[in-house]
Structure 1
Amino acid sequence: MSKKIILKGTTENLKPAITLILGIHQMLEGLDLGAGGDRDSEAHPDRRFRPQIRLHFLQDTDFNKGSNAPGYHGERRVPGRLTWRLMNETSETITLGELTRIGQQIKQIFGANNGYVWQKGKELYTYADWDRGYQMQILARSASQAQDLVTKILSLQGHTPTWKYMTKGENLDRASRYPETPVTKTILGKSVTMPKTRPNVEVRFTYADARIHKLLEPVVIYDQTNKKVGALVR
């Protein structure tokens, strides 16, 4: 079976469609659904070497490890990640001063009140404005919260959203496709809890880092947890 998908249309029409397909592909592979990554550079080569800013979130309340034994998939603390690229910078032009400035802005917007809480849900929203560095896939419970996240992220670069770039991916039977009641299976004679797909869960902002081309390790630009060594902003 061919792994190629052939799409036809104008560039503006294809951008949100490609973003949605990439998000679904990540979901099927069991990867964390964030706001871009290395795959977006394959679809838009000009983005490949641009610095990438990443916001990290983690479930921190009402966490239950479940009944799983080590070595099996099961209940895990739910993560979240949202990313975008700085299209006006390269690995050779970006400075620690600029990363520190971005870290200060992230602290003000996402670090307030012990960390921004993202209510992840079953609805998949995409925001694709590639020319300005955005290719986001956001799981949320409503369009309003997805828009709130997009608005806050864009404000870090002084941008305002253009909502024609936002798309909603719809499943006709979300309750069956993404059930809230955990599914259990019997493995080696034991009942094992399977991880939920698109759970309704709150994840809290924890830290932000930057991936710079040719650097092996990301640069931590703001740490809400005070656990990251060498963070530019605390």
Structure 2
Amino acid sequence: MCWSATADLVAGTAIVVIGAACVARARRARDLPLAALPLLLGTHQIVESVVWRSGGGTGPATIAWAVIALPLLALWVPAGVLCAAPARARTRLAVPLAAGVLTAAFLSYSLLTRPVTAEIRGRTLGYVLDLPHSALLVTGYLLATAGSLLLSADRWLRALGVLVTVGAAVCAALWRLEFISTWCAFAAVCSVVLFGWVRRGPPEASAAGMPTSTS
């Protein structure tokens, strides 16, 4: 989250532009889910600008924000990492994907059966959803998102996993203290890292171009 409707709108638009560049530069079809992640993050920011302007509450923008933030990201990130991974890494990446599927299912059910409310708290927006077994759901969510990146065979994606882990902790601490959130900057940095990953191209393609010796 950002600290105002304008900040969310500006940041979201910039991140969408980065996402469009990522998709345009993707060299393999199986890289597209991860390459498109900044498009989702930027859209998320833009949706939140609408939540700001509506004064919070339980309207369609609040529900859309929650759907993207909770079940969609929990499923999108591990699925995207698995799609982009080389065959040798896919077995271990099935674990965070399974966590993402289960977590997304529970979160989707909660959103269907319980109200979600946005509250303006000074310079932050707080979202209230009564989640059963919240500690277990948070663990599954982090395993699906940060865990899939940390388990990736790609060093760029592992670096992104470290960034996500640290950023999540910082954003959570600032939210609890009611300070200005760092989410906009965090999402932008994540998007830039993904652009670097897309621009570099698949590591196996580089390896394929190296000369090989025969005995």
Q: TM-score, normalised by structure 2?
A: 0.27
* Structure 1 or 2: more strand by fraction: 1
* Structure 1 or 2: more helix by fraction: 2
